[in-house]
């Protein structure tokens, strides 16, 4: 900005430096040159334009789309509206109209806000709900923003210095708003407005539209809460609380529902990438053996001198994969992701067979055969596989014993066996001789453990007993580690 | 803007091509490319900073088209390097015209015996025997050019290194000739479908632009611009149906170009209102996998009951 004094420039520089440090803390690889680029880029954009500022930083600092979310969170914390009006202290906020400061962010200057922001305090909850309903109905962005502000102020019950996370406030606000009821009401209204009965398709489109609006309303509430928390606790502290692992670093063992969605999104491109990479590697990895006939044939054009050696097309043998997965409680998510990944690249293997167990074991290959939809197959594994023998507590020993009895003869020297589990055996017998036997017959036996290595062999974990007979036991807590393992597998 | 980096040589001080983001956006709109503020803003920044843009995003969202449209706006020549596995220096940068060199040597032999070896060597490694490939061509061009390096993720990691010198310094080093520096900084676009991670070195040199599927409003505008004879209300419906389809978990979500194809089809069929029957009947234009088609047909026919489409991979065992 033209009027930006040196002082303002300096404080912006400081803020940017802090911002970049925080990005690095969050795991984004920001190099020095990128840092300098960002500093240069912001010179060319009007600083009053928050959106422009955001994409200028994003283009120079974030070079991987899966890091976008992390970037956005940090950005919101560092560069959101701030000032006394967001303070949680009631005395300070009571008589300040939050909209007065809108000039900082031209994006939000709508007339709907001016009307709602100040007078909102006198509304009854019913009136508030009614206004929210109307704003959702019309899809009025600025009104929705004002409603979000009002609901947070009223329902979240935020107190200065209280050490609870934003999710708690979000939950409190949402509980009072009953957005699900709101959606039903909107749908009913849509039904009434239409001259005839809505067809399922129309109904679906309407619903998607309203869900979208409610989703954006939720986002407004989140950012409102965040703004207030930032005002209360300061930027660094807030950024630290909000710091979330990047999708490839999310721990399988402690995955929240929201992270699960993220993980699934991250998994899809990852499998695609992996499949392409593996196929290429197979083709280009090395040359095959010398093709004698072909070489002699070509030697004729050099007067019988074999000047141009020809090689056979390489056909490395494809391994056969047996996946044996513990699907009890906490490790289930991990097993599912691994199965998903293995089947997504099953073209790289001559055959994939999968077995799941808790204390009983069942083959689930059949669910994956003849279906394109891996997710569907995995959900069927969860509901239909017969894995309970006695009480549904993990019993690796029994599961392995049964596995050996039933399927042991199918293991050949071409088979690679991958066992997934934390080896928390509930103090049952380990029966690790089975692994030893498998090892003798199979090409490789790998053990993947979703627990951090420090926890191995503590409590009822007996992964060490099994690992002695495996070719390797690996910690596999996140997508990054899983990807690396699968990459090396082929 | 006066704050150019003083260490950079003259071509870096070139006049900016665009005065403002808004102007660029309008210009792009005039050549039928509907950008959003982010896209236009990053192109604008790339020009100011003299940096290449790495464009990533799902297939069919207009990554290549962006480069073409910018070229059209600037009235510049588009030089395109299509990447593929096995692309090498001689296809991307330059090559010596071996046959011509050979002829030259033979010609020398026959007429003047006295010419010494050094002269011939200097001669055959001169400009005359150099075959320009796209990257060198872009560097040496005197007229305005836009360089498009398409699907850069298809080349091997080692080949990527070829691009680094060009992208950071806009120069090419040819051992026999020396370093050729750009006379002007061309606008450079690299596109990637993200089939593999590009190297850090490459990413560091570029501005990053992720082009995602457009939001509903923009998609509606896009089909309206691209498909003549489309009514506003039909365009609105098309955009809404496509958005709903993209929310499903599919093998391949419909791209913008597929949306446009679908809109064309509907116009040709004389459809004015999309009902479930038309939608399921023509959905094979949007989707290319049988399992996806089945899924969508099923979803569109089903009564909507639950508030949230529950995830299949729920966290409980």
Q: At what angle do helices A125-138 and A200-233 cross, to 10 degrees?
A: 120
Q: Average pLDDT over chain A, rounded to whole? A: 76
Cα separations (Å) of A327 from A334, A450, A477, B17, B95? 8, 12, 15, 59, 58
Q: Is the pLDDT of residue A408 over 70?
A: yes
Residue at A301 is within a domain: no
When CB atoms are compared, the residue of A59, A256, A382 closest to B207 is A59
Q: Which two tokens stand for residue B190?
A: 């690299």
Task: Test B247 with A63 for CB contact under 8 angstroms.
Answer: no
| A304 occurs within a structural domain | no
The pLDDT confidence band at residue A119, using thresholds 50, 70 and 90, is: very low
Q: Is B22 left (phi over 0), alpha (psi -120 to 50) or beta?
A: alpha
| Same domain flag for A67 and A88 | no
The length of chain A in residues reads 490
Question: Does residue A230 share a domain with residue A100?
Answer: yes
Q: What angle do CA A333, A334, A339 make, to 5 degrees?
A: 100
Residue A147 shares a structural domain with residue A58: no
Angle between helices B256-268 and B232-247 (to 10 degrees): 140
Give whichever of A204-208, A269-273, A439-443 has the largest mean pLDDT: A439-443
| Residue B247 structure tokens | 């929310």
pLDDT in tens, B246-268: 888 787 889 998 999 999 999 99
User: Within a domain: residue A295?
Assistant: no
CA distance A186 to A181: 9
Q: Which domain-ending residue is among A216, A244, A272?
A: A244
- In this structure, the answer to whether residues A183 and A274 fall within a common structural domain is no
Domain boundary among A78, A96, A120: A78
Q: What are phi and psi of B96, to 5 degrees?
A: -85, 135
Same domain, A281 and A334: yes
> Is B276 within 8 Å of A201 when comparing Cβ atoms?
yes
What percent of chain B has pLDDT above 90? 20
B284-317 pLDDT tens trace: 888 888 888 888 888 777 654 433 333 333 333 3
A67 and A96 fall within a common domain: no
Tell me: do A65 and A110 sit in the same domain. Answer: no
Q: How confident is the model at residue A282 (pLDDT cuts 50, 70, 90)?
A: low
On whether residue A169 sits in a domain, the answer given is yes
A residues 157..216 contacting B (CB < 8 A): 180, 183-184, 199-201, 203-205, 207-209, 212
pLDDT value for B264: 92
Do A68 and B210 make contact, defined as CB atoms within 8 angstroms? yes
Does A65 lie in the same domain as A23? yes
- Cβ-count burial of B292 within 10 angstroms (0-12 exposed, 13-18 middle, 19+ buried)? buried
Same domain, yes or no: A123 and A46 = no
A186-211 pLDDT per residue, tens: 878 777 777 766 677 777 788 888 88
Between B207, B291, B316, which is nearest A373 by CB?
B291
- In whole numbers, what is the pLDDT of chain B averaged over residues? 82
pLDDT of residue B206: 92
Give the domain range for residue A71: 6-78
For B47-81, how does the pLDDT look when each residue is reduced to its tens digit (9 = 90+)?
988 899 999 988 888 899 999 999 999 999 999 99
- Confidence at residue B189, expressed as pLDDT on a 0 to 100 scale: 94
A36 touches chain B (CB under 8 A): no
Chain B residues inside the 8 Å CB shell of A44: 1, 44-45, 48-49
Residue A298 maps to a domain: no
Q: Are the C-beta atoms of A457 and A227 separated by less than 8 Å?
A: no
Cross-chain Cβ contact B51/A45 below 8 Å: no
- Residues from chain B that touch A178, judged by Cβ atoms under 8 A, are none
More confident residue, A440 or A227: A440
pLDDT at residue A37 greater than cutoff 80: yes
Whether residue A45 is predicted with pLDDT greater than 90 in this model: the reply is no
- The helix/strand/coil state of B187 is strand
Question: Do residue A272 and residue A387 come from a single domain?
Answer: yes
Greater model confidence, A315 or A82: A315
Burial code (b: 16+ CB inside 10 Å, e: under 16) for A285-298 equals eeeeeebeeeeeee
**A34 found inside a domain:** yes
Nearest CA to A327 out of A312, A318, A337, A317 is that of A337
Q: Is residue A306 part of a domain?
A: no
Find which of A80-94, A144-158, A425-439, B5-19 is predicted with most confidence, using mean pLDDT: A425-439
What total number of domains does chain A contain?
A: 3
Question: Cα–Cα distance between B172 and B185 in angstroms, integer?
Answer: 13
Residue where a domain terminates, one of A51, A78, A105? A78
Statement to judge: residues A32 and A134 lie in one domain:
no
Expressed in angstroms, the distance from the first to the final Cα of chain B is 60
A4 part of contact set with chain B, CB < 8 Å: no
pLDDT in tens, A329-363: 767 777 777 777 777 777 777 788 888 888 888 88
Question: What pLDDT is attached to residue A87?
Answer: 54
A311 falls within a domain = no
Give the confidence band of A92 by pLDDT, cuts at 50, 70, 90: very low
The phi and psi torsions of A256 (rounded to 5 degrees) equal -85, 170
CA B206/CA A240 separation, integer angstroms: 29
Q: In this complex, which of A56, A260, A376 lies closest to B45 when CB atoms are compared?
A: A56
Mean pLDDT score, A116-123: 51
ipTM, two decimals:
0.80
CATH code of A399's domain: 3.40.50.410
Same domain for A225 and A194: yes
pLDDT value at position B73? Answer: 92
What is the DSSP code (8-state) at residue A430? -
User: Among the listed ranges A63-67, B115-119, B297-301, B306-310, which one has the minimum average pLDDT value?
Assistant: B306-310
Residue B71 Cα distances to A442, A471, B12, B31, B33, angstroms: 59, 56, 19, 10, 12
Chain A contact set for B195 (CB, 8 A): 272-273, 276-277
Residue B199 in contact with residue B160, Cβ under 8 Å? yes
Question: What are A320's strand-pairing partners?
Answer: A351, A415
């Amino acid at each position: 900005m033209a009027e930006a004094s040196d002082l303002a420039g300096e404080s912006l520089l400081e803020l940017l430096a802090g911002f970049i440090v925080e990005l690095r803390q969050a795991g984004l690889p920001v190099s020095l040159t990128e840092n300098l680029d960002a500093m240069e880029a912001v010179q060319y954009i009007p600083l009053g334009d928050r959106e422009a500022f955001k994409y200028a930083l994003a283009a120079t600092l974030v070079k991987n789309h899966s890091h976008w979310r992390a970037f956005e969170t940090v950005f919101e914390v560092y560069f959101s509206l701030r000032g006394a009006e967001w303070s949680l202290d009631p005395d300070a906020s009571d008589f300040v109209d939050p909209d007065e400061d809108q000039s900082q962010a031209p994006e939000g200057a709508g007339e709907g806000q001016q009307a709602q922001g100040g007078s909102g305090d006198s509304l009854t909850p019913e009136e508030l709900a009614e206004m929210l309903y109307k704003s959702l109905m019309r899809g009025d962005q600025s009104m929705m923003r004002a409603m979000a502000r009002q609901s947070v102020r009223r329902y979240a019950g935020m107190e200065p210095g209280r050490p609870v996370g934003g999710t708690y406030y979000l939950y409190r606000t949402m509980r009072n708003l009953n957005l699900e009821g709101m959606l039903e009401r909107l749908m009913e209204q849509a039904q009434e407005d239409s001259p005839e009965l809505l067809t399922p398709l129309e109904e679906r489109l309407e619903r998607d539209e309203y869900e979208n609006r409610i989703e954006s309303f939720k986002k407004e509430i989140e950012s409102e809460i965040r703004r207030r928390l930032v005002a209360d606790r300061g930027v660094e502290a807030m950024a630290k609380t909000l710091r979330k692992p990047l999708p490839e670093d999310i721990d399988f063992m402690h995955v929240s529902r929201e992270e699960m969605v993220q993980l699934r999104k991250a998994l899809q491109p990852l499998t695609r990438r992996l499949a392409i990479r593996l196929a290429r590697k197979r083709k280009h990895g090395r040359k095959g053996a010398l093709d004698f006939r072909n070489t002699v044939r070509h030697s004729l054009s050099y007067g019988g001198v074999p000047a141009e050696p020809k090689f056979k097309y390489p056909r490395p043998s494809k391994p056969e994969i047996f996946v044996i997965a513990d699907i009890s409680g906490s490790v289930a998510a991990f097993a599912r992701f691994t199965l998903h990944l293995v089947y997504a690249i099953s073209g790289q293997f001559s055959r994939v067979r999968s077995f799941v167990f808790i204390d009983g074991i069942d083959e689930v290959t059949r669910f994956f055969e003849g279906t394109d939809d891996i997710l569907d197959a995995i959900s069927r594994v969860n509901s239909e596989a017969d894995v309970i023998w006695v009480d549904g507590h993990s019993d690796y020993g029994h599961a392995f014993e049964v596995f050996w009895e039933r399927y042991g003869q199918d293991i050949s020297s071409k088979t690679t066996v991958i066992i997934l589990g934390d080896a928390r055996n509930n103090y049952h017998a380990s029966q690790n001789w089975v692994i030893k036997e498998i090892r003798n017959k199979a090409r490789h036996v790998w053990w993947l453990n979703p627990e951090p290595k420090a926890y191995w062999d503590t409590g009822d974990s007996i992964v060490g007993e099994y690992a002695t007979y495996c070719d390797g036991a690996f910690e596999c807590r996140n997508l990054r580690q899983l990807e690396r393992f699968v990459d090396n597998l082929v | 803007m006066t704050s150019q980096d003083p260490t950079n040589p003259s071509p870096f001080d070139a006049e900016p091509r665009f005065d403002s983001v808004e102007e660029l956006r309008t210009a792009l709109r005039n050549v039928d490319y509907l950008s959003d503020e982010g896209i236009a803003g990053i192109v604008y920044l790339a020009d100011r900073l003299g940096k290449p843009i790495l464009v990533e995003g799902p297939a069919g969202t207009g990554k290549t088209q962006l480069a073409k449209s910018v070229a059209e706006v600037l009235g510049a020549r588009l030089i395109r390097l299509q990447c593929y596995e096995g692309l090498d220096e001689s296809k991307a940068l330059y090559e010596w015209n071996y046959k011509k060199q050979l002829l030259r040597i033979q010609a020398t032999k026959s007429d003047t015996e006295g010419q010494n070896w050094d002269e011939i060597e200097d001669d055959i490694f001169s400009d005359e025997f150099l075959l320009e490939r796209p990257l060198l061509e872009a560097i040496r061009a005197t007229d305005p050019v836009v360089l498009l390096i398409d699907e850069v993720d298809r080349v091997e990691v080692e080949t990527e290194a070829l691009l680094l010198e060009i992208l950071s310094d806009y120069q090419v080093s040819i051992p026999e000739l020396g370093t050729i520096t750009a006379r002007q900084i061309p606008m450079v676009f690299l596109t990637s479908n993200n089939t593999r991670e590009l190297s850090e070195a490459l990413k560091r040199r570029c501005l990053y632009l992720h082009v995602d599927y457009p939001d509903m409003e923009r998609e509606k505008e896009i089909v309206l611009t691209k498909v003549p004879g489309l009514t506003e209300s039909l365009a609105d419906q098309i955009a809404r149906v496509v958005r709903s389809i993209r929310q499903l978990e599919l093998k391949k979500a419909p791209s913008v170009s597929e949306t446009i194809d679908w809109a064309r089809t509907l116009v040709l069929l004389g459809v004015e209102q999309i009902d479930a029957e038309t939608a399921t009947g023509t959905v094979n234009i949007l989707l290319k996998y049988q399992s996806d088609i089945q899924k969508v047909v099923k979803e569109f026919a089903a009564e909507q009951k639950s508030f949230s489409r529950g995830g299949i991979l729920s966290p409980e065992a």
